[in-house]
Amino acid sequence: MKIVHVAQAIVICTASSIAFSGALESATDRYDSKLTRSWVESDPAFLAGNSWLEKSVYRRGDRIALGIAHGFTTPEILEPARLDRVLAILRLAFSQPAFISEEQDADPAVTTMLLSFLERHQSDPDVRQRILETEKYILMQSKKKPQRR
């Protein structure tokens, strides 16, 4: 149990660091945080319904979570309306695991960390349930593409 608690603490601290770093400006924006932010701020139905946009998202896999963590502050990312859009785009990012461009991005390591962080900052049981269902879906999807690392 102790190991589990330590692991959870590491996850929370790491995710907090990632989320807070969203306030920092990056000269190169190597995580495409601005682009990812614009996708999160879009209507999820539009995003998934646009043939050209949806493939940009589902080819990125885990990189979407990095873009979100760098693109938003913690208060922003925890806003209920935005949180649902975050969950929607994370689902879309793993909707087609066979088409994720980079091998490493097929592993939802950062995505699950982000979801754990979000879940621990929610008191509403319905919201927590939606987050857990998203995590369950992503873990199931990620198993469809063999991990190659």
Partner 1 sequence: MGGELREGGRAIAGSGLANGGEPKSPAPGGVAYVGHVEIGPSNPCDDFGMKIGIDYQLVTASGEPLQAAGYVFEENLYARMSAKSDPSNSGEVPFEPGWHPVGGTPQNRGQTETDSAGRFRDAPVGQYWYKAFTYIGTQELRAVGPSGNVVKLGTTKVTVTSDSKGHGTLVLINKKMKIKVEASR
Query: Interface residues with partner 1 (CB under 8 A)?
Result: 32, 35, 38-39, 42, 45-46, 49-53, 55-56, 96, 98-99
Ramachandran region, residue 124 (left: φ > 0; alpha: ψ -120 to 50; beta: rest): beta
For 115, half-sphere exposure in the C-beta direction (CA atoms, 13 angstrom radius) is 27
Q: How far is the CB of 109 from partner 1 (least distance, A)?
A: 22
User: Is 109 in contact with 147 (CB distance < 8 Å)?
Assistant: no
Of 29 and 119, nearer to partner 1 (C-beta) is 29
Nearest distance from C-beta of residue 32 to partner 1, angstroms: 8
Cβ-based nearer residue to partner 1, 47 or 115: 47
Q: Which residue has the tokens 């049981």?
A: 125
Q: Which is nearer to partner 1, 31 or 39 (CB)?
A: 39
Decide whether 53 or 78 has the Cβ nearer to partner 1.
Answer: 53
Tokens of 136: 């369950």
Provide the H-helix boundaries in 63-124: 63-71, 74-78, 80-93, 109-120
Task: Give the shortest CB-68-to-partner 1 separation in angstroms.
Answer: 14
Shortest distance in whole angstroms from residue 56 CB to partner 1: 5
